[in-house]
Amino acid sequence: MPKQLRAFVWTLIAFTGAAALSVIALRRGETISALWLVVAAGCSYALGYRFYSRFLAMKVLVLDPVRATPAERLENGRDFVRTNKWVVFGHHFAAIAGPGPLVGPVLAAQFGYLPGTLWILAGAVFGGCVQDFVILLFSVRRDGKSLTEMAREEIGKVGGAIAYVSILAIIVILLGVAALIVVNALKGSPWGTFTIAMTIPIALLMGLYLRRIRPGKVLETSVLGFVLVVLAILGGQWVSQNLVWAQWFTLSASTLALVIIFYGFAASALPVWLLLAPRDYLSTFVKLGVIFLLAAGILLVRPQLHMPALTRFIDGSGPVFAGNIFPFAFITIACGAISGFHSLISSGTTPKLIARETEARMVGYGAMMAESMVAIMAMIAACAMQPGVYFAISSPAGVVGAAPEAAATTISNLGFHVTASDMAALARSVGEQTLYNRTGGAPAFAVGMAQIFSRSLGGDAVMAIWYHFALMFEALFILTVLDAGTRVGRFMVQDALGHWWRPLGRTSWYPSILATSALIVGAWGYFLWQGVKDPLGGINSLWPLFGIANQLLAIVAMCVATTILIKMRRARYAPVTLAPLCVLVLVTFTASWHKIFDANPRIGFLAHARLLTSQMASAPKPGDLARLILNDRIDALVAGVLVCLVSLILLESGLVWWRVLSGRNEASIKESAFVMSRFVGEEA
Amino acid sequence: MRSAIDFWKTALAVLREIFDESAYARFLVRRAVPSSTAAYAEFLRETEHTRARRPRCC
């Protein structure tokens, strides 16, 4: 394309993006089409990729196309394999895309669509994509080393240890929150519970089919599993309408929590091939399909956004969760803009597959853009439904009331009209008895998605099928994270305990497997149980805690990245990671301070504990209050310890930067030596 | 037409990589054995350590 035409096209994209953003930001008092969000996102990503990631690749990181990657130098046909860039892109995207970018934006929709959308776009282009790209490249240059290893080698021993503790903490909190989302989505729902319960025998069947009947035919097995899951969804409708069966599958939140805790323990101890792997395949298959379906549905239906651009809840009084727009919009969005967890994937499997350094840009930066687009779609799904309905579904009973009339009146009084009969009709249309107080974001997302799907295919008649399909997709997704996370956490604990007593480190020794599985399941099970028993719905306390832990891990990743850039004598470019690092520190430390010390009992853990302590004397069951007080204090302690640990890594990193920049220490990085690629000149 | 075929091939290759079919194919080539239940069981044993430690993101 001629240079002038190229310049014209990019100018057009820039103006189109600016126009779309202006509509999103400035239009007040009337609904706007969701397409404005899609156009703004598309233009922002295009510009970010074309210009900012190019700047990072050429000026900051100086990607070298002739430098052999570990996939070439260490190729073994197993872990290290030169792979086509599109294949690595798909593989990386499938690994980073989780429930976070779906749930976070749905919860943040209580502030309106504007704050969340702006942070998803800016956070991804200048933060999340940069983190994923930079960490991927640095891991490629270090033979695919993990974030923990890079932190230990480039920052110091404290950095390595803190990275380890942060990763373990985020896994435990994530699993507790994820399990709570499933419990809140399935409580009192025989249809949903039956469908999800059926995914366990389906996964076992897939495992046996793969191993005994059609070895290695995973795609074929996944298609078969998907067909069985669709049959389970249809069967769920029958179960929900059958008095006897419906009773069996109508479970309370507490019972569901116990079932999930037991499931997590069993899944962690069973052979990988039997449950974890087939479930992972099935979940990935459904995940990729649903993301494409949702994108197509949004483009086809072009829904109007009924949620205002900004709601009155930016002052922190929102019923879904408490907290001001700053910092809680940032903490709540989390993975849709920047996710510390991605740095584990970028320094895990992916760097061992990259065929040439220049492809790290497309894989690292590009895949995060795709994940961010998923977050935008989740925002659209939440904001396309009537705001009153959104708040009725997502608000806890402790805030808006448990009785339908009371909840509808409270929400209407907040300025978002909804009636008990509207909610009853909606519940009937999706095959549920009630949709009130389903905190956690998943049911609201499922309703939004079902409305979009049913308008593009099948109409109101199949609304219930689409709702349960969406619910199944999310729960399947989350339970897969639960399986895999419990096992990864177990291995991390076993690795650590193995230094203390060798047999505990043996991953095939059953006493060690059972003990460490119980330890990890007990840890996340504690958070789950706490959430289930919380009158404020659990998400109010636990999602911010998860967001804080996730963003603290991103701080660790950005510390590693900035340290390496400074040691590479590229300090003048360090702001590309230092600026997002400063934003993350500001957001995360402020949020942590609020969650621990804020005087509002709906926000601060300690204030809530004080409030409950003052009610102890008159409480009918003081034991219950004592447990809630202990939970608050533990949550405050967890947030405080995590912040202190990350402060230490910031301090250690700062010292390294100061020593290198002042010339006290020589800048030496731990890159593997340059080797010329054998594939120079080969077409990319 | 050609680009549509290329796209389909790439999409299939992505799915085969995500679903470990390519890894199994490489295993068979490396070990010089045909596909069988025994070979697949051996592949699962060999890759269990890696797959069990593969985190799924949030």
Express each pLDDT in A458-471 by its tens digit.
777 789 999 999 98
Mean pLDDT of chain A: 92
pLDDT tens, position by position, A350-365 = 999 999 999 999 999 9
Tell me what pLDDT residue A684 has: 56
Specify the number of domains making up chain A.
Answer: 1
Tell me what pLDDT residue A143 has: 95
Chain A's closest residue to B30, CA to CA, is A77
Contact, A419 vs A164, CB < 8 A? no
Q: Which residues of B fall within a CB distance of 8 Å from A215?
A: 24, 35-37, 39-41
Tell me what pLDDT residue A280 has: 84
Q: Which residues of A fall within a CB distance of 8 Å from B49?
A: 507
ipTM of the complex: 0.89
Give pTM, 2 decimals: 0.92
Tell me what pLDDT residue A479 has: 86
Span of A292-306, A319-333, A448-462 with lowest mean pLDDT: A448-462
Compute CA A595 distance to the chain's CA centroid, rounded to the nearest angstrom.
Answer: 20
Tell me what pLDDT residue A683 has: 61
Q: Is residue A201 part of a domain?
A: no
Coil, strand, or helix at residue A415?
Answer: coil
The mean pLDDT of A230-249, rounded to a whole number, is 94
Contact, A20 vs A98, CB < 8 A? no
Coil, strand, or helix at residue A92?
Answer: helix
Q: Is residue A193 part of a domain?
A: no
B42 interface with A at CB cutoff 8 Å: no
Q: What is the pLDDT along chain B (58 residues), one digit of tens a residue?
A: 788 898 899 989 988 988 899 999 999 999 999 999 999 999 988 887 777 777 777 7
The mean pLDDT of A586-590, rounded to a whole number, is 96
Q: Is residue A468 part of a domain?
A: yes
Chain B's closest residue to A91, CA to CA, is B18
CB spacing of A77 vs B26 below 8 angstroms: yes
Tell me the residue range of the domain where A629 lies.
3-188+251-661
Phi, psi angles (nearest 5°) of residue A33: -75, 145
Tell me what pLDDT residue A275 has: 84
The mean pLDDT of A24-42, rounded to a whole number, is 93
Q: Is residue A500 part of a domain?
A: yes
pLDDT tens, position by position, A666-684 = 888 899 999 999 998 776 5
Span of A17-21, A38-42, A365-369, A667-671 with lowest mean pLDDT: A667-671
Q: Is residue A269 part of a domain?
A: yes
As a whole-number percent, the residues of chain A with pLDDT over 90 amount to 69
Reported as half-sphere exposure (CB side, CA atoms, 13 A), residue A146 has a value of 14
Chain B's closest residue to A546, CA to CA, is B58
CA pseudo-torsion sign A283, A286, A292, A294: negative
Q: Is residue A27 part of a domain?
A: yes
Q: Is residue A204 part of a domain?
A: no
Domain ranges of chain B: 2-52
For chains A and B, count residue pairs whose Cβ atoms are closer than 8 Å: 135
> Does residue A55 surpass a pLDDT of 70?
yes
Pairing of strands A304-305, A32-33: antiparallel
Apex CA A104: angle with CA A180 and CA A128, to 5°? 125
The mean pLDDT of A473-478, rounded to a whole number, is 85
Query: Which of A98, A210, A285 minimises the CB distance to B57?
Result: A98
Q: How far is CA A352 from CA A63, A64, A140, A360, A651, in A?
A: 16, 17, 7, 11, 31
The mean pLDDT of A536-540, rounded to a whole number, is 79
Q: Which residues of A fall within a CB distance of 8 Å from B47?
A: 78
pLDDT tens, position by position, A140-178 = 999 999 999 999 999 998 888 888 888 888 889 988 988
A305 bridge partner residues: A32
Q: Which residues of A fall within a CB distance of 8 Å from B29?
A: 77
Query: CA-CA distance, A530 to A524, in Å (whole number)?
Result: 10
> Does residue A242 surpass a pLDDT of 90?
yes
Contact, A567 vs A530, CB < 8 A? no
Q: DSSP code of A538? A: T
CATH (domain of A319): 1.20.1740.10
In this structure, chain A runs to a length of 684
Compute CA B12 distance to the chain's CA centroid, rounded to the nearest angstrom.
Answer: 12
3-class SS letters over chain B:
CHHHHHHHHHHHHHHHHHCCHHHHHHHHHHHCCCCCHHHHHHHHHHHHHHHHCCCCCC
Tell me what pLDDT residue A310 has: 96
Tell me what pLDDT residue A348 has: 85
Q: Which of B20, B33, B54 is nearest to A218 (CA)?
A: B20
Rounded to a whole number of angstroms, the distance between the first and last alpha carbons of chain A is 20
Structure tokens at A328: 């809680």
Which helix (H) or strand (E) segment holds residue A32: the answer is: strand A32-33
> Does residue A477 surpass a pLDDT of 60?
yes
Query: CA-CA distance, B29 to A508, in Å (whole number)?
Result: 28
Q: Is residue A682 part of a domain?
A: no
pLDDT band of residue A266 (cuts 50, 70, 90) is: confident
As a whole-number percent, the residues of chain A with pLDDT over 70 amount to 100
Tell me what pLDDT residue A599 has: 97
> Does residue A287 surpass a pLDDT of 90?
no
Tell me what pLDDT residue A641 has: 93
Span of A208-212, A280-284, A435-439, A619-623 with lowest mean pLDDT: A619-623
CB spacing of B17 vs A90 below 8 angstroms: yes
